[in-house]
Structure 1
Amino acid sequence: MKVFLADTDHLESLSILFDKYRVFYGQLSDIEAAKEFLKERFKHNGSVVFVAQDNGEIIGFTQLYPSFSSVSMKRVWILNDLYVKESYRRQKVATLLIHAAQEYAKQSGAVRIVLATHISNTTAQKLYESQGYIKDVEFYHYALRLQ
């Protein structure tokens, strides 16, 4: 098994997993839209995607979006997406993906990685906490839906 930075050569396989990730969060399946979304991220360097591959098959991914901290005047990465194919779960694939993201963030000079997960997703919460992520108790996070 190996983890590496994805590019447009991985778009077909990655789109299928990305679609499954969206379905997990209650969205309708739309592989073509998933492919177009990812293609735009690659085209404009709007995100960084790491994939896990086993025997030539992409089995998981994590996607980081760039941001900045005005206070520290440094890069921040938003770990927005993490997904592992069901048949590969509980095999440390997610941990490998997180480690790749963390190493990338360190090399880019980032001050931190931030992420959010659904309150009911206790499996993800346990994973993140096992990797040293701390639940924020200093700030409330707000969102404004525009559609």
Structure 2
Amino acid sequence: MVPPDIIKATESHIEELSRLFSAYRDFYRMETDLEGCKSFLTERIENGDSEIYIHINEEGSQTGFVQLYPLFSSTRMAKFWLLNDLFVHPDYRGRGISKKLIDVAKELCRNTRACGMMLETEKSNDIGNNLYPKTGFKLDTKHNFYTWDV
């Protein structure tokens, strides 16, 4: 069951969510582009490309979000989710919001009969690298991770 302070993002949340998403991108040293954030998030929601859940505080402000993309595992012959983005505004960290957002992501996996989820984070992300094992994620040391950029 999704906690009452976590909601699924809709187009009505884009304006405030874009500012939070921009702060997330700042964390990863990306160039600030608020209009690009709005456009990107609007496309994801309109096209149903991802699932985005937002934490709402007591004052009704968005304080964190998680975004997941559907994938498929051929070897497992099942849906598999990519937890691509998890962010809590620095002013609200240490309150268990990230854990709540991860719990909602786990519920999404169960509800869609997925075989699991994966995520990637920088080796220097001490917060994430401390959090993920505490929430049941296991570091995959058996596989190489490669990327190709256009």
Please classify the TM superposition score into its range, dividing by the shorter chain length.
over 0.9
TM-score (norm 2): 0.95
Identity %: 36
- Runs of 4 or more, structure 1, over 4 Å off, are none
**For residue 133 of structure 2, what is the aligned residue in structure 1?**
129
After superposition, the CA RMSD in angstroms is: 0.9
Aligned length: 146
Residues 9-88 of structure 1 aligned to structure 2 (within 5 Å): 9-54=12-57, 55-88=59-92
Q: For 1:60-102, what per-residue CA distance to the aligned partner results, in whole angstroms no more than 9, with x for missing partners? A: 0000011000011100000000010111001101111000111
1:93 aligns with 2:131: no
- Hey, what's the Cα distance between the residues in 1 that align with 2:16 and 2:113? 30
- Hey, what's the Cα distance between the residues in 2 that align with 1:124 and 1:24? 12
Q: What residue ranges of structure 2 are gaps of 5+ in the alignment?
A: none
Q: For 1:93-138, what per-residue CA distance to the aligned partner results, in whole angstroms no more than 9, with x for missing partners? A: 1111000111011100000110000011121011000001000022
Which residue identity is paired with 2:149? R
Q: What residue ranges of structure 1 are gaps of 5+ in the alignment?
A: none
